[in-house]
Amino acid sequence: MRRARLLRQLVDSAAWVIGLLAAVFVRYDFVPDLRPLIGVLVVIVLAVLVHTAIDHARQLHRGIHRFASVDDANAVAATTVLVGLMLTAGIVLLSHPPVPVGVPALGGMIALMIMLSVRYLWRARRFRRLRPDRRTAAPVLLFGAGSAGSLLVQSMLRDPAGRWLPVGLLDDDPAKRRLRVQGVPVLGSRDDIAQALAATEAELVVFAVANADAGLVRDIRDRTLAAGATFKVVPSVSELMSQPVEVGDIREVQVTDLLGRHQIDTDLSSIGGYLTGKRILVTGAGGSIGSELCRQIHHFEPAELMMLDRDETSLLAVQLSIDPRARLDDPAVILADVRDAGRMRELFRERQPQVVFHAAALKHLALLQRYPGEAVKTNIIGTLNVLRASGSVERFVNISTDKAADPSSVLGYAKRITERLTAWTARRNRGTFLSVRFGNVLGSRGSVFTTFSAQIAEGGPVTLTHPDVSRYFMTTQEAVHLVIQAAAIGMDGEALVLEMGEPVRIAEVAAQMVALSQKQIPITYTGLRPGEKLHESLFGADEVDRRPFHPLISHVEVPPLDPADLHLIPPGADTEVVIIQLADMCARPAADRSPADTVVHEPSGRASG
C-alpha cells in the first residue's frame, strides 16, 4: 500500500516536471534558454508541493487501492486544475514573474494528460492480468448488451480463475451494432446466433437480459438449442432485487423463465416511503407469497418485520431464509392463527403494526370445493378478524386472486367477499385498506408447477384437466414485487389487478417441463373439476381496466360488504348449502351502514367473531 501511494506521488510529480518544462520550451519556440531556468524550477517545486498537499488534504491517498479508477481520474483532474489556477494567480500578482503567465495553464494541461495516460495504461495492464486464461476458460456468447450484459462481461473479465471468457454479444437493438463492451464486440442480433456460435467456437449462450419477458427467453433458447449450443440465463430483475448481476448468478433455465417472466418497472422510492422504518406485519408468512413478501420487505429496512403463521416449521424456514444466524426465539416470528379473533386483537394491541400484508389463506381450489366450511373459517372469518384488529394501521393490503373476478368456485367466492370486506373497512378506518389481485404463481406450493414436478420425478404420467385450459402465470418474485409496488399507489377500498401478460395453456407448461426434464413422459387429461373455469379472467364483468399510475397495475372499484350482511351458515350444513350461501353472500348488493358485530356460524358449529 505504501509503495502504491509513493508510486502515485512520483507519477504526479514527474508529470508536473515534464509538463512545465514542455510549456517553457513551447513558450520560447523550443529554443533552449537558461535565463528562466531558476524561475521554472521554483514553479515546478511549488506545483509538486501544492499538488501533494491538496491530495493529502482531500485524503485522496487513502483511496490508493482504487488507483486508475474513474473516481481517481476525476480527483486528479480537479487537483491539477486547482494547482494550475493557484500558480497562475500567484504569477499574476508578482511584479517580476519567474515564468510567463500562460506557463502554469499549459504545463497543467500537459501534466494532466500524462497523469491520465499513465493511469489508463496501469488500468489496462491490471485488467489484462485479471482476464480468464484463454487456455482454460470456455468461450461464451451473451445475449443482451444492456446494463445486465455489461455488468456480466465486466464480472467475467475480472475473474482470472473464471470458467468462461466472453467472446461476443448479441442484441436486437440496431443502435448497438458494431459496439464494444469492455472490448467485447456486439456480433449481431438473435438472427445471428448460429453464425456467431460458429465464428467464435462458443458452445454456450447466456441470456443476459434481466428485465425480459418469457416470450423472448423462449425464442432465444429455441434458437440456441437449434444451433447445438447450451443455454443459461441470469435471474430476472425481481429475483436480483436491484443487486448487480454477477457471474455467480448464471444458472440453468427453469420453467419460470420460460413461462413466468414479465418486464417490471419499479419505483423504489415510492416503495421505500411506506416500508422503510415502519413496523410491518405479514400474515401467512410461511406460505409461498408470504415468505417472499418477507424476503423482499426485508431489503427495505423496516423498523420491525413481524412474520405470523400457524405453521411453526414454515415460520422457521422463512426466518432462516432471511437471516441464517437468526435466533429461534426471535420475537419477529409469531405463531398464531388468524381464526383466533382474541389473539389478533391482543397481537395488534401489543405490537402495533403500521403496515399489514394479509396473505394468510387457504388457496387450493379442489380441496375448498370439498370443504367449503374451512374457506369460511380461514379466508372470510380470519380476514375479518385481522381487519377488525387493524383499526390503527396506516396501510392494509389484502392478498386476493383472479378467481375473485366473476367467481365460480368456493375459493373465488371467499376471496371476493374478503375484497368487499376490505373495501367496507376502508370507509371506516383512517388508514388505507386495499386488495391486490393476481393469477397463478409459478413455484408456489400446490401449484401445477410443483404437481407436475412431482409427477415427472416419478416417471409420469403428467395429468391435466383439459387440453385447452389456460391460466395467467407469474413467478413468485415478480408477483410479490408488483404487490409491494401496488400497495404504494393504491387508493382506499380499491382492488389492484396485476398485469400477468397473456394467459398460458396449462398443456404448454406441462410440455415445457417435460422437455426440460429430458425424459419421455406421457400427458393425460382428467376433465375439469367442480368450480374450475376453462379460462380465468382478471376483471369482473362490471369492472373497468384503469391504469392511472403504473402500466402493469390496474385499479378497480370494489363494492363494500358490511359484515352485518354476512349470512348465517347453519351448523352442520352440507357442502352444497355452504357453497350456495357463499355465492349468495358474494353477490349481495353493496350496503353502507354503520359497523356492527356479526357472528357467522361455521359448519362445525363453532362460532367466530
| Cα–Cα nearest to 558, from 516, 590, 527, 605 | 590
Per DSSP, helices labelled H in 227-382 are 237-240, 255-259, 268-275, 288-298, 312-322, 341-351, 365-370, 372-375
- The strand pairing partners of 436, in sequence order, are 399, 496
Torsion sign (Cα): 270, 276, 278, 281? positive
CB-CB contact of 60 with 75 (8 Å): yes
How many angstroms separate the CA atoms of 89 and 48, rounded?
16
Residue whose C-alpha cell is 376502508: 426
CB-CB contact of 257 with 214 (8 Å): yes
- Please state whether the peptide bond connecting residue 530 to the residue before it is cis, i.e. omega within 30 degrees of 0: no
Would you call 403 a catalytic residue per the annotation?
yes
Which residues lie closer than 8 Å to 597 by C-beta, 6 or more apart? 563, 609
Q: Are strands 504-505 and 470-471 parallel, antiparallel or unpaired?
A: antiparallel
How far from each other are the two terminal CA atoms of the chain, in whole angstroms? 70
Tell me the Ramachandran region of residue 2: left when phi exceeds 0, alpha when psi lies from -120 to 50, beta otherwise: alpha
The one catalytic residue in 278, 377, 403, 415 is: 403
DSSP per position, 472-521: -EEEHHHHHHHHHHHHHHPPTT-EEEE---S-EEHHHHHHHHHHHHTS--
How many angstroms separate the CA atoms of 170 and 189, rounded?
5
Which residues lie closer than 8 Å to 110 by C-beta, 6 or more apart? 15, 18, 19, 22, 23
How many angstroms separate the CA atoms of 172 and 249, rounded?
23
How many angstroms separate the CA atoms of 332 and 601, rounded?
33
| Cα–Cα nearest to 468, from 522, 421, 533, 424 | 533
CB-CB contact of 379 with 414 (8 Å): yes
Size of the chain, expressed as the number of residues it contains = 609
Active site residues: 403
